[in-house]
Amino acid sequence: VGGPGLVRGRRHATDVRIGDRIDSWEVVGITPESNLTLAFGMRAPGAGVMEFALEPITDNKTKITVHAYWHPAGVWGLLYWTAMIPLHSLIFNALPKKIAQRAEKLASKASVN
Protein backbone atom coordinates (compact mmCIF):
# COMPACT_ATOMS: atom_id res chain seq x y z
CA VAL A 1 0.00 0.00 0.00
CA GLY A 2 1.29 3.46 -0.84
CA GLY A 3 2.28 5.05 -4.10
CA PRO A 4 2.92 8.35 -5.85
CA GLY A 5 -0.07 10.14 -4.34
CA LEU A 6 1.67 10.43 -1.01
CA VAL A 7 4.35 12.80 -2.30
CA ARG A 8 2.70 14.83 -5.09
CA GLY A 9 1.39 18.34 -4.63
CA ARG A 10 -1.49 20.06 -6.41
CA ARG A 11 -1.05 21.81 -9.77
CA HIS A 12 -3.42 24.59 -8.68
CA ALA A 13 -5.27 25.28 -5.43
CA THR A 14 -8.75 25.75 -6.95
CA ASP A 15 -8.65 24.88 -10.66
CA VAL A 16 -9.13 21.16 -11.36
CA ARG A 17 -8.55 19.39 -14.68
CA ILE A 18 -8.61 15.79 -15.88
CA GLY A 19 -5.25 14.23 -15.05
CA ASP A 20 -4.66 16.42 -11.98
CA ARG A 21 -3.72 14.79 -8.69
CA ILE A 22 -5.57 15.57 -5.48
CA ASP A 23 -3.68 13.83 -2.68
CA SER A 24 -3.60 10.15 -3.70
CA TRP A 25 -6.40 10.53 -6.25
CA GLU A 26 -6.34 11.31 -9.99
CA VAL A 27 -9.09 13.38 -11.60
CA VAL A 28 -10.61 11.17 -14.32
CA GLY A 29 -13.91 12.94 -14.89
CA ILE A 30 -15.34 16.37 -14.27
CA THR A 31 -18.51 18.26 -15.06
CA PRO A 32 -18.20 21.78 -13.61
CA GLU A 33 -20.57 22.46 -10.71
CA SER A 34 -22.04 18.95 -11.05
CA ASN A 35 -19.72 15.92 -10.85
CA LEU A 36 -16.14 14.99 -9.98
CA THR A 37 -14.74 11.48 -10.47
CA LEU A 38 -11.44 10.47 -8.89
CA ALA A 39 -9.42 7.27 -9.38
CA PHE A 40 -7.51 5.82 -6.43
CA GLY A 41 -3.81 6.41 -7.08
CA MET A 42 -2.09 4.44 -4.33
CA ARG A 43 -0.70 0.95 -4.72
CA ALA A 44 -3.32 -1.39 -3.36
CA PRO A 45 -4.77 -4.82 -4.13
CA GLY A 46 -7.43 -3.46 -6.45
CA ALA A 47 -8.72 -0.33 -8.14
CA GLY A 48 -10.98 2.30 -6.65
CA VAL A 49 -13.07 5.22 -7.83
CA MET A 50 -14.76 7.95 -5.80
CA GLU A 51 -17.52 10.09 -7.29
CA PHE A 52 -18.88 13.37 -5.99
CA ALA A 53 -22.24 14.58 -7.29
CA LEU A 54 -23.80 17.98 -6.62
CA GLU A 55 -27.55 18.44 -6.92
CA PRO A 56 -29.04 21.93 -6.53
CA ILE A 57 -32.02 21.90 -4.17
CA THR A 58 -32.70 25.65 -3.89
CA ASP A 59 -30.79 28.79 -4.91
CA ASN A 60 -28.60 28.53 -1.82
CA LYS A 61 -28.74 24.82 -0.97
CA THR A 62 -26.98 21.90 -2.69
CA LYS A 63 -27.01 18.18 -1.95
CA ILE A 64 -23.59 16.47 -1.98
CA THR A 65 -23.45 12.74 -2.65
CA VAL A 66 -20.27 10.66 -2.42
CA HIS A 67 -20.02 7.16 -3.89
CA ALA A 68 -17.00 4.87 -3.57
CA TYR A 69 -16.40 1.87 -5.79
CA TRP A 70 -13.77 -0.82 -5.29
CA HIS A 71 -12.76 -3.54 -7.73
CA PRO A 72 -10.71 -6.00 -5.69
CA ALA A 73 -7.73 -7.80 -7.17
CA GLY A 74 -8.36 -11.24 -5.76
CA VAL A 75 -8.61 -12.30 -2.14
CA TRP A 76 -6.17 -9.64 -0.92
CA GLY A 77 -8.34 -6.94 -2.47
CA LEU A 78 -11.42 -8.30 -0.71
CA LEU A 79 -9.56 -8.48 2.59
CA TYR A 80 -8.23 -4.95 2.13
CA TRP A 81 -11.70 -3.53 1.47
CA THR A 82 -13.27 -5.47 4.34
CA ALA A 83 -10.55 -4.34 6.75
CA MET A 84 -11.04 -0.71 5.68
CA ILE A 85 -14.86 -0.66 6.08
CA PRO A 86 -14.83 0.97 9.56
CA LEU A 87 -12.43 3.71 8.45
CA HIS A 88 -14.26 4.26 5.17
CA SER A 89 -17.58 4.57 7.02
CA LEU A 90 -16.13 7.37 9.13
CA ILE A 91 -14.54 9.12 6.16
CA PHE A 92 -17.48 8.89 3.78
CA ASN A 93 -19.94 10.07 6.43
CA ALA A 94 -17.76 13.04 7.41
CA LEU A 95 -16.55 14.03 3.93
CA PRO A 96 -19.76 15.61 2.54
CA LYS A 97 -20.26 17.52 5.81
CA LYS A 98 -16.71 18.86 5.70
CA ILE A 99 -17.09 19.89 2.04
CA ALA A 100 -20.36 21.67 2.89
CA GLN A 101 -18.74 23.52 5.81
CA ARG A 102 -15.88 24.73 3.61
CA ALA A 103 -18.27 25.79 0.83
CA GLU A 104 -20.43 27.73 3.30
CA LYS A 105 -17.34 29.43 4.72
CA LEU A 106 -16.13 30.42 1.24
CA ALA A 107 -19.61 31.65 0.28
CA SER A 108 -19.87 33.81 3.40
CA LYS A 109 -16.43 35.33 2.70
CA ALA A 110 -17.45 36.04 -0.91
CA SER A 111 -20.69 37.75 0.15
CA VAL A 112 -18.76 40.03 2.54
CA ASN A 113 -16.38 41.16 -0.22
Could you report the per-residue pLDDT of 18-30, keeping only the tens digit for each? 999 988 899 999 9
- β-bridge partners, 72: 46
What's the sign of the alpha-carbon dihedral 86, 88, 94, 98?
positive
Tens-place pLDDT, residues 74-99:
999 999 999 999 998 998 889 888 98
Structural domain spans, the chain: 4-112
107 vs 76: which has the higher pLDDT = 76
Cβ atoms of 101 and 109 within 8 Å: the answer is: no
Residue 72 banded pLDDT, cuts 50, 70, 90: very high
Cβ atoms of 24 and 5 within 8 Å: the answer is: yes
Contact residues for 53 (Cβ-Cβ < 8 A; gap 6+): 34, 35, 64, 65, 66, 67
Q: Work out the mean pLDDT of the chain and round it to a whole number.
A: 87
pTM, full prediction: 0.79
Instruction: Give how far Cα 113 sits from Cα of 103, 108, 109, Å.
Output: 16, 9, 7
- β-bridge partners, 65: 53
